[in-house]
Chain A
Amino acid sequence: MIQVERLTKTFGAVPAVDGISFEVRRGEILGLLGPNGAGKTTTLRMLTGYLAPTSGRIRVGDYSIPEDLLEVKKITGYLPESAPLYPEMLVFDYLAFIAAARAIAPADRRRRIEQAAELCGIREVMHQPVAEISKGYKQRVGLAAVMLADPEILVLDEPTSGLDPNQIVEIREIIRRIGKAKTVIFSTHILSEAEATCDRVVIIHRGRIAADRPTAELKEALGGKSRLALLLEGADAEGVERVLAPVPGVERLSCGPPDEAGRISVAVAVAAGVDPRAEIYRRIRGTDWTILDFHLQAQSLEEVFRELTREE
């Protein structure tokens, strides 16, 4: 659906986006991930025709940027970061304006606005000025405006930034619902978000691509490097070392100092492809320790991300 080839944008002498190439397939939800200032927004702005690329090619369906910019704009809906809507307009008027600008037939407008309002859950704020609704609603109105013309491609720049946890969950839910039928690209600097919502993740750092993989594959690659966390009562560091070190699959043990109640926490680094949990449990059962907590910490994308984007 979208092919980006050696896309570059320089501001003065500084390259904001430095020769990146990636592809988005029809119906895919792609997460564009990176620390602040990595070039995510600049990339999205070029995809939507807001900024002209310095060099490189973008193909969207059968069209290319910049030759068929107007056609690309017709099939693309773009929601910039923090949803900059016109503050003085009523929500309904704003949606009506977007509907008119997107050349939706006047007879269809009301129905389309109602559908989009339903999808994004903004019925109750339709007659309030944009300036007076909450950030979460603003984001949803922005999404509704994007959905009005039923575009094939949705480009969302940090759609959950600045929202509270409940609002974040709601917006993600809407994105997932929309993503069933559309090609969606969204940027974020929160990994769990990409993990929760995307089919594929492209990580950019300093204007270059650091990784481009399906979310499942990324998680799988990390699966081998999991870690166990234990909280034990009545144990001591030497005892833990003696009992657990011989368990197959245990690579490294580190015990914290005992707290006032005499409990110690133990972190167990586990070798790839082995699950030593059952054996660890059997060994501990043979002692007089009490297990207060015992869980597997699946390594998050956070760690890979940090690894990939660490300052040289």
Chain B
Amino acid sequence: MRAVWTVCRRECSAYFASPIAYIVIVIFLLVVGWFFFSTFFLLNQASLRAFFRMLPVVFAFVVPAVTMRQFAEEFHSGSCEILLTLPVRIPEIVLGKFLAGTIFVAALLVPTLAYPWLVAALGDLDPGPVIGGYLGALLLGAAFAAVGLFASALTKNQIVAFLTGSAICFGLCLVDQMAFFLPEAAARPLAYLAADVHFENIARGLIDTRDVLYFASLGFLALYGTVLVLEEKHG
């Protein structure tokens, strides 16, 4: 477990040494800022609803952009040859990188805490949905970080990793809206796959084990897949 932390620390410092991290942070804050302030000024509402509603789709693109380099860059530069011959287990490497991705997602969310603060200052803030919203955002971000990591382990091309990762994440956000034309029996299980539905449940302040379990299993599946992909080549 010590190795997980070592890998994670290196990943975190690598994030903040690259300009991509800062570009992603700026784009993320601009986009979510626009969603927040458009309702704030245009509709004269001090509410976090629009912010949280758009978060899954925004994360579907932002999180894979954060994680795309994690393995792809190592394969490209060859540094994976050193990493994978250190006396560290592959699951430890994967977990370390996943943890770093999740920490970065959490760091993305920190500046947005200004919105609930603003809402609380101007009007009535219902703390339940806000706490739920941030908890859900963290779960969603972590699950997407695992998916992005998996995509990154498939290729040495960061662009391919980004496109694969966001295609999966975006697909998971849309699947419930695409299911309406299917028969009820098929639509129901398909809707369970929808990341945005589970996120909205939590963001309402309703923390249900089913929703938590959904993100946990999505994350686990993606991480397990990552380990398998790496062990296939380098076991």
Contact = CB atoms under 8 A, between A and B. Distances in A.
A84 B86 contact: no
B14 A86 contact: yes
Contacts of A49: 84-85, 234
15 contacts: A49-B84, A49-B234, A50-B234, A66-B235, A80-B81, A85-B79, A86-B10, A88-B14, A89-B17, A97-B10, A98-B86, A100-B9, A101-B87, A103-B3, A145-B82
Nearest to A69: B235
Give the top 8 A-B pairs by smallest Cβ distance, nearest first: A84-B78, A88-B17, A80-B81, A73-B87, A74-B87, A100-B6, A84-B79, A48-B85
A93 B14 CA distance: 11
A107 B86 CA distance: 20
Given A50-B84, A78-B81, A88-B17, A101 B3 contact: yes
Given A74-B87, A102-B87, A50 B3 contact: no
A81 B233 CA distance: 19
B26 interface: no
B82 A103 contact: no
A198 B186 CA distance: 68
A93 B82 contact: no
B54 interface: no
B7 interface: yes
Interface in B58-95: 77-79, 81-82, 84-89
Nearest to B96: A101
Interface string B1-45: 011001101100110011000000000000000000000000000
Q: Size band of the B side of the interface? A: 20 to 34
A86 B79 contact: yes
Contact of B78 (A80, A93, A97): A80
B76 to A, nearest CB: 10
Give chain B's interface secondary structure class: helix
A85 B87 contact: no
A45 interface: yes
B85 A78 contact: yes
Nearest to A94: B10
A80 B82 contact: yes
A169 interface: no
Contacts of B87: 70, 73-74, 101-103
A87 interface: yes
B78 A82 contact: yes
Interface of A is mostly: loop
Interface in A1-46: 45
A84 B6 contact: no
A134 to B, nearest CB: 18
Contact of B6 (A76, A80, A86, A97): A97
B235 A52 contact: yes
A76 B85 contact: yes
A73 B81 contact: no
A79 B79 CA distance: 10
A147 to B, nearest CB: 14
Contact of A84 (B18, B77, B88): B77
A87 B17 CA distance: 10
Contacts of B82: 78-80, 84-85, 98, 145
A52 B230 CA distance: 11
Nearest to A48: B85
Given A78-B85, A101-B86, A101-B88, A87 B78 contact: no
Interface in A96-148: 97-98, 100-103, 145
Given A66-B235, A82-B78, 20 more contacts: A49-B84, A49-B85, A49-B234, A50-B234, A51-B234, A52-B235, A79-B82, A84-B81, A88-B14, A88-B18, A89-B13, A89-B14, A97-B9, A98-B82, A98-B86, A100-B9, A101-B3, A101-B6, A101-B88, A103-B2
Contacts of B86: 73, 98, 101-102
A37 to B, nearest CB: 17
A59 to B, nearest CB: 18
A87 B77 contact: yes
Nearest to B6: A100
B136 to A, nearest CB: 33
A76 B84 CA distance: 12
Contacts of B14: 86, 88-89
Interface string B211-226: 0000000000000000
Contacts of A100: 2, 6, 9
